[in-house]
C-alpha cells in the first residue's frame, strides 16, 4: 500500500493540450485549404504537402541532430508548414516551400528555443525570406483555373490593380469568395477563412480582439484615407491576405501579446501599418510585414500593458485621498 | 435570482456526484486506537501541552493552549490515557509535536460540557471568550483563529458577515451536506456573529450548482431580516475569501490586507456550526466533517469524525480502499489546492476538509512542455497576475522580478496550472518562490527592526555619556 504519488497542486487539469490547440488550428484552416486547392489545382496541393512535410522534417532533423526531445507530435510544425503554403503563389516551384520551411523552422523557431520562444511568426518569417530572395517566383500570380487543365495565365491581384490606380476587375462577391482572382493559395477565399476564424473563436483558441480590431482598423482607415481619392474599404477588407493574417498569423501565441490591452494595441498597430504600406508603401500588400514589425514590438507592448492586479489600484487611489 | 461572481477563474469538472447524496455519518474512533493532537492546527502561535504522559484525559478537556492572542487551544476528543508526546505528520507535510491519547472507548466527558448558554443574554466579550475557549478556527482550510477574526480593530467597522458556502473545490461535499442537514444551526451561528456586529448584514453565499442547499438555507432564513442567501455563479475559486467578498459586495480587498479592511468577515459553514456548538451546546471544537471521495475508496461519503483520528483509522472505519482499483494518490482537501499525502498515517486536524483517493487515471500527471504564451493563465488568473511570467522568474531564480510582477499576491488557487495547455506546473513553482521571497521579506523586516533597535540603544547610551 506504500508508494503514493506526491505532486504539486492542482491535481486536476483541463483536457486542452498544445496538440489539441494546434489540431484546432489545422481544422480551422481546412475550408480555406480546400478552396485553395479547388481554385488553384494540383500544383496548390503539391505545394501544401511539400510545405507541411518539409516543416515537420526540418523540426525532426534539428531536434534529432541537437539531441533534443522530438516534439513533432505537438503539430505546431504542421501548422507552420500549412500556413507557409497558404502564403505562396500557386505557380511557385516545389523547392520554394522546402526552402521556406527550412528557414521558418530552423531560423525563426528552433534557434530561438523552439515552440513558444519564437519572437516572430515562423511562417511569415519564411515568407518574408522567400519574398526577399526569390521575388519572381513569389510574385507570379495566376488565375484560379482549378483542375480544368487550362494553362495558368498570369494575372494581377486586386491589390496590385488598386495600387496601380486601376479599379479592380473583381467584384466584392469575387473577393469574398475568391472566384476569378489571383493571389496566394490560402488567402483568396475570405469566406472560408472567416469560417475557420469563427471556429477558432468558438473553441476559445483565439480571442476576438486581434482579428476583429485588426480588420476593423484596416476598414476604418482605408475608408478615411482612400487611394487617390477613391475609398474602397470593403475591397480592402476582403482583398489580399488580411483575413488570413488577422485570423491565423497575427493571433500566433508566441509572437503576439499575452495581455488583453496589449492585444488591442498590437491589432491597432497591425491595421495601421497594413493600411500605410498598402496606400503609401512600395508593395501592393502589407499584411505580412505589418505583422512582422508588430511582432518585434510585442515585448515593449507587454511591458506597458501588464494587467492591474486584484486589490491593487482602487486602494492606492483611496490612500492618496486620505 | 441572478448569481454573482468575480472576474476570470476556471470551471473544473466538479466530481461532487460521488458523495453529494451521502448523508453525514458519524465515525467514532475505535477503542484502543491512538489519537494525535498536533500543537499547531491553526495560524498563529503553537500551543503548549497542558497534560503529561500518563495523565488521564476526558472528552472536551483542554489539553493544550498558548498565551498568545493569535492562537487557539486544543481539546481531547476522546477519553483515555496520554501515552506519548512526540512529533507526528500533519496533512500539510510537516512533523508537529503532538499529544498522543489512547482511546479507552468510554467517551467519558469532562464536567461542564454540554452547558449551553443563551447568546442573547451574553455580552460580546463573553461570546468572544467562549469562542476562543472552544478552540474554534476557520475550518475551510486556513485555520485562522475565529475569535481574532470576529474582533477586528475598532477603526474597521464591519458591515457584512459572509458565510462561505461556495464549496468551489471539486469533490468536496461536506459543507453541502451540512447545509441540507443542519441549516438552522448555521443560521443560529450566523446570528451569534451578527450579535457581535449588529450593524452588519449576514449573507450566505452558495454556488448555484447546489440548488437544494440554496433552498434549505433560504427556508431556514425565512423571517430573519438581516440574513439573506446569495446564489453565486459556479466557478473556481469562488470560495476564495477575497473573491467571495468581491462577488457579494464588489469590494476588492487591498493587496496584503485582511478582509476586515473591506468591512467583511468571512467564515466557512462548518466554522459557523462550530461557533453555534461552542455557545449553544457548550462543546468545544472536537469534531469536523470530512468528505472522503475519489474512485479509489470503497464508500465515498461525508463523515463526522473526531479530530485527532489518523486518516488510516478513518479509511479503515469506512470500509477501506477500493480493492479492484486502489488509489495511487492521496490528497488532503480538494483537488485544486489540497496537498498530497505519502501515507495514511497522518493526524486529522481542525482544517482537514477532505481526503481524496485518486486512482491511476485520476492521478495522471501530464508531461510539462514549453510555454506557448497562449495567455490562458493570464486570462483565468483570479488575481489578475501573469502566471507564465512568474513561472519564468521562478525558473530563473529571479526573486526581484517575481516580486515586481506581484508574485506575492498569488492565492495559489491553481487556476493557471489547470488551464495551461502546456501542462506547466505554474502554481507549484509560484508557491515555492513565494515561500522563498516571503521568507526574505520577513528576514529583511526583522533585520531592519534589529538595526533600528541597535541604533536607538547606541543613541541612548551616547546620550548617557
- Which residues in chain B have Cβ-Cβ distances shorter than 8 Å to A8? 417, 425, 427-428, 431
At residue A317 the predicted structure's pLDDT band, cuts being 50, 70 and 90, is: very low
CA within 13 Å, CB half, B89: 14
The answer to whether B415 touches B376, Cβ cutoff 8 Å, is: no
Residue A10 to residue B336, Cβ atoms within 8 A? yes
Task: Parse chain A into domains and list their residue ranges.
Answer: 18-304
From B164's Cα to the closest Cα of chain A, the distance in A is 19
Interface predicted TM-score (ipTM) of this complex, two decimals: 0.86
Q: Which of B281, B310, B329 is the last residue of a domain?
A: B281
pLDDT at B162 over 50: yes
At residue A321 the predicted structure's pLDDT band, cuts being 50, 70 and 90, is: very low
Residue B365 to residue A307, Cβ atoms within 8 A? no
From B366's Cα to the closest Cα of chain A, the distance in A is 9
- Which residues in chain B have Cβ-Cβ distances shorter than 8 Å to A74? 369
- Which residues in chain A have Cβ-Cβ distances shorter than 8 Å to B295? none
In a domain? residue B290: no
Q: Is the peptide bond before B237 cis (omega within 30 degrees of 0)?
A: yes
What per-residue confidence (pLDDT) applies to B1?
60
Asked if A63 has any chain B CB less than 8 Å from its own CB, the reply is no
Residue A307 to residue B378, Cβ atoms within 8 A? yes
In a domain? residue B445: yes
Q: Which three-class secondary structure state does DSSP give residue B65?
A: strand
Residue B342 to residue A4, Cβ atoms within 8 A? yes
Q: Which three-class secondary structure state does DSSP give residue A229?
A: coil
Residue A8 to residue B336, Cβ atoms within 8 A? no
Mean pLDDT of chain B, nearest integer? 90
What per-residue confidence (pLDDT) applies to A2?
58
% of chain B beyond a pLDDT of 90: 51
% of chain A beyond a pLDDT of 70: 95
Return the residue matching grid coordinates 466533517.
B289
Residue A9 to residue B422, Cβ atoms within 8 A? no
Residue A4 to residue B414, Cβ atoms within 8 A? no
Residue A258 to residue B340, Cβ atoms within 8 A? no
pLDDT at A7 over 60: yes
Residue A311 to residue B253, Cβ atoms within 8 A? yes
Return the residue matching grid coordinates 427556508.
B219
- Which residues in chain B have Cβ-Cβ distances shorter than 8 Å to A13? 366, 417-418, 420, 423
Q: Which of B256, B281, B306 is the last residue of a domain?
A: B281
Residue B424 is part of which domain span? 368-465
Looking at residues A229-242, what average pLDDT do you find? 87
Q: Are residues B400 and B257 in the same domain?
A: no
Residue A312 to residue B255, Cβ atoms within 8 A? yes
Q: Are residues B155 and B257 in the same domain?
A: yes
- Rank A67-71, A147-151, B221-225 by mean pLDDT and report only the highest: A67-71
- Which residues in chain B have Cβ-Cβ distances shorter than 8 Å to A5? 328-329, 340, 363, 365
Phi and psi torsions of A253, nearest 5°: -55, -50
Looking at A97-106, B25-34, B110-119, which range is the least confident one?
B110-119
Angle at A47 between CA A43 and CA A50, to 5 degrees: 135
What is the CB neighbour count within 10 angstroms for residue A117?
Answer: 15
In a domain? residue B238: yes
Q: What is the C-alpha separation between B296 and B315, in angstroms, rounded?
A: 11
- Which residues in chain A have Cβ-Cβ distances shorter than 8 Å to B366? 13, 17
| H or E element at residue A29 | helix A18-65
Condensed to tens digits (0 to 9), the pLDDT of residues A278-297 reads 988 888 888 999 999 999 99
Q: Which of B15, B33, B20 is nearest to B305 (CA)?
A: B33
Q: How many A-B residue pairs are in contact by the CB < 8 A criterion?
A: 166
Q: Which of B323, B343, B333, B345 is nearest to B33 (CA)?
A: B345
Looking at residues A254-261, what average pLDDT do you find? 93
Question: Which of B358, B369, B420 is facing A11, going by the closest CB pair?
Answer: B358
From A19's Cα to the closest Cα of chain B, the distance in A is 8
Looking at residues B311-317, what average pLDDT do you find? 92
Asked if A5 has any chain B CB less than 8 Å from its own CB, the reply is yes
pLDDT at B60 over 80: yes
Kindly report the CATH class assigned to A18-304: mainly alpha
Residue A9 to residue B336, Cβ atoms within 8 A? yes
- Rank A263-277, B241-255, B364-378 by mean pLDDT and report only the highest: A263-277
What per-residue confidence (pLDDT) applies to B102?
92
The answer to whether A13 touches B414, Cβ cutoff 8 Å, is: no
Question: Which of B370, B372, B418 is facing A14, going by the closest CB pair?
Answer: B418
Largest Cα separation within chain B, whole Å, is 82
Q: Which of B114, B349, B308, B141 is nearest to B239 (CA)?
A: B141
Looking at residues A220-244, what average pLDDT do you find? 87
Which of B18, B238, B250, B421 has the most A C-beta neighbours within 10 Å, making it the best mutation to test the interface with A? B421
Cell numbers placing B366: 501530464
Total domains in chain B come to 2
Chain A: residue nearest B421 by CA? A17
- Which residues in chain A have Cβ-Cβ distances shorter than 8 Å to B360? none
Q: Are residues B134 and B260 in the same domain?
A: yes
pLDDT at A40 over 60: yes
What per-residue confidence (pLDDT) applies to A315?
44
- Which residues in chain B have Cβ-Cβ distances shorter than 8 Å to A77? none
Q: What is the C-alpha separation between A149 and A141, in angstroms, rounded?
A: 17
Condensed to tens digits (0 to 9), the pLDDT of residues A53-84 reads 999 999 999 999 999 999 999 999 999 999 99
pLDDT at B178 over 70: yes
Listed in sequence order, the residues at least 6 apart from B72 whose beta carbon sits closer than 8 Å to its beta carbon are B41, B42, B44, B47, B132, B135, B136, B137, B143, B145, B146, B147, B350
At residue B109 the predicted structure's pLDDT band, cuts being 50, 70 and 90, is: confident
pLDDT at A318 over 60: no
Q: What is the C-alpha separation between B330 and B341, in angstroms, rounded?
A: 5
From A276's Cα to the closest Cα of chain B, the distance in A is 29
At residue A172 the predicted structure's pLDDT band, cuts being 50, 70 and 90, is: confident
| pTM higher than 0.90 | no
- Which residues in chain B have Cβ-Cβ distances shorter than 8 Å to A1? 321, 326, 344
pLDDT at A313 over 90: no
In a domain? residue B456: yes
CA within 13 Å, CB half, A122: 37
Q: Which three-class secondary structure state does DSSP give residue A37?
A: helix
Question: Which of A11, A21, A311 is facing B331, going by the closest CB pair?
Answer: A11
In a domain? residue B247: yes
The answer to whether B417 touches B430, Cβ cutoff 8 Å, is: no
What per-residue confidence (pLDDT) applies to A316?
44
pLDDT at A319 over 50: no
In a domain? residue B38: no
Chain B: residue nearest A13 by CA? B418
pLDDT at B356 over 80: yes
The answer to whether B279 touches B119, Cβ cutoff 8 Å, is: yes
Asked if A258 has any chain B CB less than 8 Å from its own CB, the reply is yes
At residue A242 the predicted structure's pLDDT band, cuts being 50, 70 and 90, is: very high
Residue B372 to residue A254, Cβ atoms within 8 A? yes
Question: Which of B170, B373, B406 is facing A116, going by the closest CB pair?
Answer: B373
Amino acid at each position: 500500500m506504500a508508494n503514493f504519488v506526491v505532486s504539486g497542486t492542482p491535481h486536476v487539469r483541463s483536457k486542452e493540450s498544445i496538440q489539441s490547440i494546434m489540431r484546432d488550428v489545422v481544422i480551422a484552416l481546412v475550408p480555406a485549404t480546400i478552396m485553395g486547392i479547388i481554385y488553384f489545382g494540383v500544383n496548390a496541393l503539391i505545394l501544401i504537402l511539400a510545405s507541411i512535410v518539409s516543416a515537420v522534417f526540418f523540426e525532426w532533423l534539428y531536434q534529432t541532430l541537437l539531441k533534443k526531445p522530438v516534439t513533432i507530435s505537438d503539430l505546431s510544425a504542421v501548422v507552420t508548414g500549412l500556413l507557409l503554403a497558404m502564403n505562396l503563389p500557386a505557380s511557385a516551384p516545389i523547392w520554394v516551400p522546402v526552402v521556406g520551411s527550412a528557414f521558418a523552422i530552423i531560423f525563426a523557431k528552433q534557434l530561438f528555443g523552439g515552440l513558444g520562444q519564437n519572437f516572430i511568426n515562423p511562417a511569415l518569417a519564411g515568407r518574408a525570406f522567400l519574398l526577399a530572395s526569390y521575388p519572381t517566383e513569389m510574385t507570379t500570380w495566376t488565375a484560379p483555373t482549378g483542375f480544368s487543365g487550362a494553362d495558368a495565365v498570369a494575372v494581377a491581384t486586386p491589390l496590385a490593380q488598386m495600387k496601380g490606380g486601376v479599379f479592380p476587375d473583381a467584384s466584392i462577391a469575387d473577393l469574398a469568395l475568391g472566384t476569378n482572382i489571383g493571389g496566394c493559395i490560402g488567402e483568396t477565399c475570405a469566406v472560408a477563412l472567416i469560417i475557420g476564424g469563427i471556429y477558432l473563436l468558438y473553441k476559445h483558441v483565439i480571442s476576438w480582439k486581434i482579428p476583429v480590431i485588426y480588420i476593423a482598423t484596416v476598414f476604418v482607415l482605408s475608408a478615411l484615407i482612400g487611394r487617390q481619392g477613391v475609398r474602397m474599404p470593403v475591397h480592402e477588407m476582403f482583398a489580399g491576405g488580411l483575413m488570413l493574417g488577422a485570423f491565423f498569423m497575427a493571433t500566433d501565441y508566441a509572437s503576439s501579446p499575452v495581455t488583453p490591452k496589449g492585444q488591442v494595441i498590437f491589432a491597432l498597430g497591425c491595421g495601421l501599418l497594413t493600411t500605410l504600406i498598402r496606400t503609401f508603401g512600395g508593395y501592393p500588400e502589407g499584411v505580412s510585414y505589418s505583422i512582422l514589425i508588430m511582432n518585434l514590438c510585442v515585448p515593449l507592448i507587454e511591458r506597458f500593458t501588464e494587467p492591474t492586479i486584484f486589490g491593487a489600484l482602487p486602494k492606492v487611489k483611496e490612500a492618496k485621498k486620505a | 435570482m441572478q448569481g454573482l461572481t468575480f472576474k476570470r477563474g476556471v470551471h473544473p469538472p466538479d466530481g461532487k456526484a460521488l458523495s453529494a447524496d451521502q448523508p453525514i455519518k458519524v465515525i467514532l474512533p475505535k477503542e484502543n486506537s491512538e489519537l494525535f493532537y498536533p500543537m499547531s492546527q491553526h495560524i498563529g502561535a503553537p500551543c503548549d501541552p497542558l497534560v503529561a504522559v500518563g495523565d488521564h484525559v476526558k472528552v472536551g478537556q483542554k489539553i493544550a493552549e498558548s498565551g498568545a492572542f493569535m492562537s487557539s487551544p486544543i481539546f481531547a476528543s476522546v477519553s483515555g490515557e496520554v501515552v506519548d508526546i512526540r512529533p507526528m505528520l500533519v496533512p500539510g507535510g510537516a512533523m508537529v509535536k503532538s499529544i498522543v491519547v489512547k482511546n479507552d472507548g468510554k467517551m467519558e466527558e469532562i464536567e461542564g460540557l454540554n452547558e449551553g448558554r443563551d447568546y442573547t443574554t451574553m455580552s460580546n466579550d463573553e461570546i468572544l471568550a467562549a469562542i476562543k475557549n472552544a478552540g474554534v478556527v476557520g475550518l475551510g482550510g486556513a485555520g485562522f483563529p475565529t475569535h481574532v477574526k470576529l474582533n477586528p480593530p475598532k477603526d474597521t467597522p464591519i458591515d457584512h458577515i459572509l458565510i462561505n458556502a461556495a464549496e468551489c473545490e471539486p469533490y468536496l461535499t461536506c459543507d453541502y451536506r451540512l447545509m441540507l442537514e443542519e441549516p438552522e444551526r448555521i443560521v443560529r451561528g450566523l446570528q451569534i456573529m451578527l450579535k457581535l456586529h449588529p450593524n452588519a448584514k449576514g449573507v450566505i453565499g452558495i454556488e448555484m450548482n447546489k440548488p437544494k442547499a440554496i433552498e434549505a438555507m433560504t427556508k431556514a432564513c425565512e423571517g430573519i431580516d438581516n440574513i439573506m442567501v446569495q446564489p453565486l455563479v459556479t466557478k473556481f475559486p469562488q470560495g476564495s475569501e477575497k473573491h467571495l467578498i468581491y462577488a457579494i459586495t464588489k469590494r476588492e480587498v487591498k493587496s496584503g490586507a485582511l478582509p476586515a479592511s473591506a468591512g467583511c468577515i468571512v467564515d466557512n459553514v462548518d466554522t459557523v456550526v462550530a461557533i453555534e456548538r461552542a455557545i449553544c451546546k457548550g462543546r468545544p471544537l472536537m469534531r469536523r466533517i470530512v468528505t472522503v471521495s475519489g474512485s479509489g475508496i470503497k464508500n465515498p461519503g461525508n463523515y463526522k469524525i473526531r479530530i485527532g483520528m489518523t486518516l488510516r483509522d478513518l479509511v479503515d472505519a469506512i470500509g477501506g480502499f477500493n480493492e479492484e482499483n486502489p488509489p495511487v494518490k492521496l490528497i488532503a482537501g480538494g483537488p485544486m489546492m489540497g496537498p498530497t499525502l505519502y501515507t495514511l498515517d497522518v493526524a486529522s486536524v481542525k482544517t482537514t476538509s477532505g481526503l481524496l483517493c485518486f486512482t491511476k487515471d485520476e492521478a495522471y500527471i501530464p508531461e510539462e512542455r514549453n510555454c506557448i504564451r497562449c495567455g490562458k493563465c493570464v486570462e483565468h488568473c483570479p488575481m489578475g497576475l501573469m502566471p507564465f511570467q512568474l513561472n519564468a522568474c521562478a525558473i530563473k531564480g529571479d526573486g526581484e522580478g517575481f516580486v515586481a510582477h506581484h508574485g506575492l499576491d498569488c492565492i495559489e488557487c491553481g487556476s493557471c496550472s489547470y488551464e495551461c495547455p502546456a501542462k506547466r506546473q505554474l502554481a507549484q513553482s509560484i508557491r515555492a518562490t513565494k515561500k522563498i521571497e516571503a521568507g526574505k521579506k520577513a528576514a529583511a523586516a526583522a533585520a531592519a527592526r534589529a538595526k533600528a533597535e541597535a541604533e536607538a540603544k547606541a543613541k541612548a547610551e551616547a546620550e548617557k555619556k
